[in-house]
Amino acid sequence: MTTTTIGIFGGGQLGRMMAQAALPLNIKCTFFEAKTDCPAAALGPVISTEANNGLQDFIASADVFSLEFENTPLADVDVLIQNKSLFPPRQALATAQNRLLEKALFDELNIPVAAYRAVDSLASLKQAVVDLGLPIVLKTATGGYDGKGQFVLREADQIEQAWAELGPAKSLIAESFVQFSREVSIIAVRGQDGEVRTWDLAENHHHHGILSHSIVPAPDSQDLQPVAQDYITRLLHHLNYVGVLTLELFVTEQGLYANEMAPRVHNSGHWSIEGAVCSQFENHIRAVAGLPLGSTQTIRPTVMVNIIGQYPKKEDVLALSCAHLHLYDKSERAGRKIGHITLMPLDSNELTSLCIQLARILPEPLALTEEMQINV
């Protein structure tokens, strides 16, 4: 069957960029989202999650389905897959929604992770501290993103406070604190025929728990790339995955440690729109539609910078050479991702200069010159 319409759970900027990639392929998208004025609304019909029969109308609106966020309700997915196909598969979604299941999967596939314990009571938290030592990172097993739902527990006298803040969630995970030098992510795509292609590793930098910028290829990553590719390929084949998958990793003296996976296109892959032969968004659409995958080769070194909270002057950004501006049609709000900028200079000297210039014109909190002085 020829795919003409893809239904996407969610209508944020990821859905918007997937739909932008689908249009040249004569593939349309529909969206299932609470707010009908969401960023994806300019690209296709939005069916409200609040509407009567909204889910059934959404299921009827497309040939095949995908998603833009891992917290897509499994109850909705269970109704959908009775009659239609969802890519990625339900198992990947259910695993990614629960950090305990996710860590167990990593263990099963021999993908290194920090030591961890399940926590469901104050007593089990105290035992986890004994077993793992301090510091530890206490996280909710479900939910949480951009640093939310976490508590870094450094001293024993913080145990009561940590439980008070996160304990009501009931299902928690305590992880040993990983001593890492940097964070990287590997993004890969698997087609319906089982073919796997991966993009270059991205080195990711965060500000207040939110991704601020990514550098691709990650510096000094020649030895890390094949290891990361091996880990994510194990996941893709084990899950019989179709579409784009992201694996976030810590670089340590002992090698790469998995942090978490995201069963979707990812913020650290936005660079690929201009920086790769075929972007994460186009390859995801191709995979979901059953089409051949495109090349994931990097065109040239690239930096992606998130616009968070407040828009810069459009004219200032576009005046920079080799800069590409993407705005998401979202209102300004502190801590909110509302756009991104991709820098594609011709050499590393120009890249460093461009990053410094960009840091000067970005509104707070990203106007941090030191943070944007990137060595590549």
Tell me, what's the pLDDT at 1? 61
Average pLDDT over every residue of 312-322: 94
122-155 pLDDT, tens per residue?
999 999 999 999 999 999 998 766 556 889 999 9
Rg of the Cα trace of the chain? 21
Asked whether residue 149 is marked as a ligand-binding residue, the answer is yes
Compute φ and ψ for 55, nearest 5 degrees: -65, -45
Tell me, what's the pLDDT at 369? 43
Tell me, what's the pLDDT at 170? 75
Check pLDDT > 60 for residue 376. no
Four-way CATH pick for 5-86: 3.40.50.20, 3.40.50.2000, 1.20.120.80, 3.40.50.300: 3.40.50.20
Asked whether residue 259 is marked as a ligand-binding residue, the answer is yes
Tell me, what's the pLDDT at 370? 44
Pick the range with the lowest mean pLDDT from 155-159, 192-196, 225-229. 155-159
Asked whether residue 314 is marked as a ligand-binding residue, the answer is no
In this structure, the dihedral spanned by the alpha carbons of residues 144, 148, 153 and 154, taken in order and rounded to 10 degrees, is 140
Asked whether residue 274 is marked as a ligand-binding residue, the answer is no
Asked whether residue 154 is marked as a ligand-binding residue, the answer is no
Asked whether residue 177 is marked as a ligand-binding residue, the answer is yes
Tell me, what's the pLDDT at 58? 98
Asked whether residue 139 is marked as a ligand-binding residue, the answer is yes
Secondary structure (DSSP) of 61-110: T-SEEEES-TT--HHHHHHHTTTS-BSS-HHHHHHHT-HHHHHHHHHHTT
Q: Is residue 375 very low, low, confident or very high in pLDDT (cuts 50, 70, 90)?
A: very low
CATH class of 182-372: alpha beta
Tell me, what's the pLDDT at 207? 82
Asked whether residue 243 is marked as a ligand-binding residue, the answer is no
Asked whether residue 99 is marked as a ligand-binding residue, the answer is yes
CATH class of 115-176: alpha beta
Asked whether residue 183 is marked as a ligand-binding residue, the answer is yes
Asked whether residue 58 is marked as a ligand-binding residue, the answer is no
Asked whether residue 284 is marked as a ligand-binding residue, the answer is no
Domain with CATH 3.30.1490.20 in the chain: 115-176
Q: Is residue 250 very low, low, confident or very high in pLDDT (cuts 50, 70, 90)?
A: very high
Check pLDDT > 90 for residue 185. yes
Domain with CATH 3.40.50.20 in the chain: 5-86
Partnered with residue 169 across adjacent β-strands are none
Check pLDDT > 50 for residue 371. no
Does residue 208 contact residue 220 with C-beta atoms inside 8 Å? no
Which of 262, 254, 252 shows the shortest CA–CA distance to 182? Answer: 252
Which of 97, 115, 119 shows the shortest CA–CA distance to 107? Answer: 115
Average pLDDT over every residue of 64-73: 96
Asked whether residue 269 is marked as a ligand-binding residue, the answer is no
The mean pLDDT value of the chain amounts to 93
